[in-house]
Structure 1
Amino acid sequence: MLLLQKEFPNLKSYTLPAYNIKYSKKGKNLKCKLILSVPSIILAVKKERKIVTQLIEKENIMGIISDNRFGVWSKKIPSVYITHQLKVFSGITTWITSKIHQKVISKFDECWVPDVNGKPNYSGELGHLTNHKFKLKYLGVLSRFKHQKLDVKYKLLVIFSGPEPQRTLLENKLLIELKNYKEKVLFVRGILSSKDKIKDSSNFKVVNYLLSNDLEKAINQSEIVIARSGYSTIMDLAVLGKKAFFIPTPGQFEQEYLAEMLLKKRIAPFATQENFELDNLKILTNFSGFKRNETNIHLDFFNLFERK
């Protein structure tokens, strides 16, 4: 929310209730933490349903696009759900979590998936179903970024993201691993606070966050990107045509699946957070990196929101 407010300071914004999902230090405990978060998620969904109803009247809203917010929809106006997770991987409970999510999706007029319908694609089984009972549309590869031909400034760009405490655990590990790295490195910590700072090292620069234009430039100026294998990050790197090394968030089945899929396709390697070492980067020579894609959203999709 804070990042979007910084990106679009002139737009009106409202804060919806937080789902308060709790994450653990050990990936194997993540599922238990998520199960314990279910009551708070249900409560938040009920609250956001009431808020959305009020906002539709107050702001004369003519359509909704919900980015994975379960309660942000209305029977009164066209409502779209945007997600790449038609299936929600959760180990042996995947069939349950997937069915629950698909039931949520079915309440919306349409579901938009940021990927291509055919092959090759980037979401794999997550974003493609054999059978479904809702209106499904594929947006193609989706990113806020554009490719720029810029001179390489950084050998490595490290982008931290995701929930605590795993973000900090990865940050601490990489600061140690790259301490004696000889090439130029840029660390983007993914922290919006300007108070919590880390001093630059002799071989790398550290920033808490970058807004879209600056981050776009930094990625275009970097030879290799180290990041979580989150789907939005994958889309960005696919549009920019970069080489990447992924470190999935421990216990997040989705990120682990996406990292393994990209490994099998010989696009990008990965390592677990626990086992990552600087020497892992040497295997990048055996991977192609992302072939550059373009974001082309058909404006016809938005005909859904035309007033009759």
Structure 2
Amino acid sequence: MSNTILVAPLNWGLGHATRCIPIIQELQKNGFNPIIASDGVALALLKKEFPDLVALELPSYNIEYAKKGGNFKWKLINNSPKTIKSIISENKLINKWVKEYDLCGVISDNRLGLFTKKVPAVFITHQLKVLSGQTTWFTSFIHSIIIKKYKECWVPDAESTPNLSGKLGHLENSSLNIKYLGVLSRLNYKKVKKKYDVMVLLSGPEPQRTMLEEKLLVEFNDYPKKVVFIKGKVEADQKKEKIGNITVYNYMQSAELEKTINESEMVLSRSGYTTVMDLAKLKKKAFFIPTPGQFEQEYLAIQLSKDGLVPTALQDNFSINDLESVSLFGGLPEIKTTVNWGELFGLFKSERKL
């Protein structure tokens, strides 16, 4: 029997790739041989984290944000012909790679075309309900059709309350084969001496990532406290510069990022779900600025604010004075969950259909 499993996250910011890191590590602990596959910054990040693993390139979904949040959905629709072409291409590739790389399974984090009947294929998502405004019923329906093409659907969250994804990751009635992974993070809490007052942690597709970066560098220009600023730009080499009280990095790998978040009093970031999980694991106070027009991030930010956990502001409205409200909120809850990875990975020990 083969023990090789393809792990392939969507290249939409860094969140899908980073939450695959603990899964890859658990596969290695359980005697499997992971192969990584993606495109763009997601693939670049995984290659830096796992330089010894085989890395394959998948077609890009050509995901871009609009400069105005209100145009976000229409930008995705305009890009959809290219995206559909990429999904069809990756489906052809996975059926080819099963034989070429002797795969015994596939783990796809939100890549829609990596289903195959030849080996068990798993789909990872925290969005069983895909929010899109008035078309939520339609996007959720289409998403469920795609998920059903996979053997199982793994949701990175607690199955019961308290949980972090709310209505995104929990359906009242579902025919999907769902398994909950618990809160999934590559990072661990450590009690260390505080070094920074604020960490700015950026990610996400352009042009919104750059737009927020430029806005925040201006806002923090005269900030008197110590700030560490992570741009979320995965490049060939790490770069570091000082701008007044701000220490700026283009990116950090997991170990350094874990250390730096633990050393920071609070984190200012997007409200991407993987970031929410990471900060909950690290018991961190936070302030969220959702990506304009991205319904999922807006829902998470508003819900966590309503629950008195994390304050939020729209990107255009944010000012540095808003950070004063962080002390009035409780911070993200620590949700302790355990996963029987050996049992979960047992799916991949079934016979292949070559």
Q: TM-score, normalised by structure 2?
A: 0.85
2:95 is aligned with 1:53: yes
Distance in 1 of aligned mates of 2:51 and 2:237: 21
Matches within 5 A, 1:52-131: 52-131=94-173
Of residues 201, 211, 215, the one that matches 2:253 is 211
Of residues 251, 276, 280, the one that matches 2:318 is 276
- Report if the CA contact (8 A) 1:27-1:252 is conserved: yes
Of residues 301, 305, 308, the one that matches 2:348 is 305
* Residue matched to 1:259: 301
Q: Write out per-residue CA displacement over residues 32-80 of structure 1, whole angstroms, 9 at most, x where no aligned residue.
A: 1011111111111110011101110011100111100111121111111
- Report if the CA contact (8 A) 2:305-2:311 is conserved: yes
SS at match of 1:20: coil
SS at match of 1:76: coil
In the alignment, residue 264 of structure 1 is paired with which amino acid? K
* Residue matched to 1:43: 85
Distance in 2 of aligned mates of 1:156 and 1:298: 36
Deviates more, 1:283-292 or 1:269-278: 283-292
Q: Write out per-residue CA displacement over residues 250-300 of structure 1, whole angstroms, 9 at most, x where no aligned residue.
A: 000000000011001111010010000011011112101123344632121
Of residues 10, 18, 28, the one that matches 2:60 is 18
SS at match of 1:14: strand
Distance in 2 of aligned mates of 1:66 and 1:123: 19
SS at match of 2:298: helix
- Report if the CA contact (8 A) 2:124-2:155 is conserved: yes
* Residue matched to 2:218: 176
Query: Structure 1 residue 22: deviation in Å?
Result: 2.6
- Report if the CA contact (8 A) 2:238-2:251 is conserved: no
SS at match of 2:145: helix
Listed as ranges, the gaps of 5+ residues in structure 2 are 1-42
Q: Write out per-residue CA displacement over residues 113-156 of structure 1, whole angstroms, 9 at most, x where no aligned residue.
A: 00111111111111011122221111111101111111111000
- Report if the CA contact (8 A) 1:239-1:295 is conserved: no
* Residue matched to 1:141: 183
* Residue matched to 1:2: 44
- Report if the CA contact (8 A) 1:89-1:98 is conserved: yes
Listed as ranges, the gaps of 5+ residues in structure 1 are none
- Report if the CA contact (8 A) 2:66-2:75 is conserved: yes
Q: How many pairs align? A: 308
Q: TM-score, normalised by structure 1?
A: 0.97
In the alignment, residue 301 of structure 1 is paired with which amino acid? L
Q: Write out per-residue CA displacement over residues 168-218 of structure 1, whole angstroms, 9 at most, x where no aligned residue.
A: 111111111111111110000011235896842120100000001000111
Distance in 2 of aligned mates of 1:274 and 1:66: 34
Q: Which has the higher strand share?
A: 2
- Report if the CA contact (8 A) 2:62-2:79 is conserved: yes
Query: Structure 1 residue 163: deviation in Å?
Result: 1.0
Distance in 2 of aligned mates of 1:30 and 1:121: 28
2:277 is aligned with 1:235: yes
* Identity value in percent: 51
SS at match of 2:103: coil
- Report if the CA contact (8 A) 1:46-1:71 is conserved: yes
In the alignment, residue 249 of structure 1 is paired with which amino acid? T
2:262 is aligned with 1:224: no
Query: Structure 1 residue 242: deviation in Å?
Result: 0.2
Residues 225, 146 of structure 1: alpha-carbon distance in 2 compared, 3 angstrom cutoff: same
